[in-house]
Amino acid sequence: MKKIMLVFGTRPEAIKMCPLVLELRGRSGFQTLVCVTGQHRQMLDSVLDAFGVAPDFDLSIMDSGQTLFDITAKVMSGVRDILAAERPDIVLVHGDTTTTFAAALACFYEGVAVGHVEAGLRTYNIRSPFPEEFNRQAVDIISDFSFAPTEAARENLLREGKRGVYVTGNTGIDALRTTVAADFTHPELSWAEGSRLVMLTAHRRENLGIPMRRIFAAIRRVVDEFQDLKVIYPVHMNPRVKEAADEMFGGHERIRLIEPLDVLDFHNFLARSYLILTDSGGIQEEAPSLGKPVLVLRDTTERPEGVAAGTLKLVGTEEAAVYDGFRQLVTDKAMYEAMSRASNPYGDGFASKRIADILEDLNGASAYGII
């Protein structure tokens, strides 16, 4: 029996890893352990509760004002101790967080094989997004098994000389198969009834400060012009994000600032929106499955497949560019219809099953000879 441990610590990671946890725990050939770091605490716990996933280990690293140095050191030491006690055959990490990087590095030092879920995403600008682009590239160097969500991600890895690369689709799409409900209701959605609902998320480190205020200024201008638009913004818990949101949107009658939503609510809000404005990576993958056009509030994206498919449009962070892109999508019906009907390049909702199938078939494939 293979002993597999999954390590994750943030809300986005949990959304994408919990379907895989459930798939692995449903198979008799695996002993499946879950280690959470608590890089996001409350937001992480709400996702675990939604999927019914109880972790075997919880590092609880979250501290007020913690830095990347703090997260990296705490995760590495915590994961090291668990590896020494449990000696898993393989550790699965996800994406590009600091939890992912530090856990993978701990495995590398301890000689434990690493499987990277959502491998191969690239902007090839080491500081955009920061620190995520560095994290994902470093983890891909370390990984023994790379589970790429798309063919383009696979090609990135092959160009870099990687072996053990598999195209699986994105596990975030798996989550949508269980979270979106036809009979979902919520008071905030009742508030937005009869309007064109715009869902907004903005929290990325590189957008904090002036870029975020430029973005918010552009959004407010468009909402002021079109009386049938209403915006719901689940505000990230970062105090700097809250400060900017309150400053730029506070008191606006058609922009509602709310607390972060749990994953079930959030996916259903997305499903009932007219369009989405975001700097999130995961939403760029989820929205195509829901038929929702997305304006990406970033200067780069590691998800070019969505742009090429036509479901995403990269508008940057300059006020004029965000204003023009948002206003055009609101007024140009042909553009809106084309984006909403674009094909989904991120999979069919069965990525977790594919990853589990691959892990079942691994025999002596690890670079360390562990599996």
Examine the residue annotation and report whether 116 is marked as an active-site residue of this protein: no
Rg (Cα) of the chain, in Å, rounded?
A: 20
Kindly name the residue from 13, 58, 89, 132 that is annotated as catalytic: 132
Overall size of the chain counted in residues = 371
Sheet holding 90-94, edge to edge: 57-58, 30-36, 2-8, 90-94, 113-117, 145-148, 165-167
Q: What share of the chain is helix, strand, coil (3-state, %, to 5)?
A: 50, 15, 35
Nearest to 233 by CA among 258, 211, 254: 258
Kindly name the residue from 13, 23, 89, 118 that is annotated as catalytic: 118
Kindly name the residue from 213, 236, 298, 354 that is annotated as catalytic: 236
Examine the residue annotation and report whether 96 is marked as an active-site residue of this protein: yes
Is 293 within 8 Å of 333 (Cβ atoms)? Answer: no
Going by their DSSP bridges, the two strands 294-296 and 312-314 should be labelled as parallel
Kindly name the residue from 205, 220, 252, 256 that is annotated as catalytic: 205
Cα 106 to Cα 77, 100, 136, 141, 143, distances in angstroms: 8, 10, 15, 14, 12
Examine the residue annotation and report whether 40 is marked as an active-site residue of this protein: no
Q: How far apart are CA 179 and CA 35, in angstroms?
A: 23
Kindly name the residue from 96, 133, 140, 305 that is annotated as catalytic: 96
Q: How far apart are CA 369 and CA 371, in angstroms?
A: 6
Q: How far apart are CA 85 and CA 90, in angstroms?
A: 14
The burial class, CB within 10 Å (0-12 / 13-18 / 19+), for 227 is: exposed
Examine the residue annotation and report whether 132 is marked as an active-site residue of this protein: yes
Cα 131 to Cα 137, 234, 239, distances in angstroms: 10, 23, 19
**Active centre residues (catalytic):** 96, 118, 132, 203, 205, 236
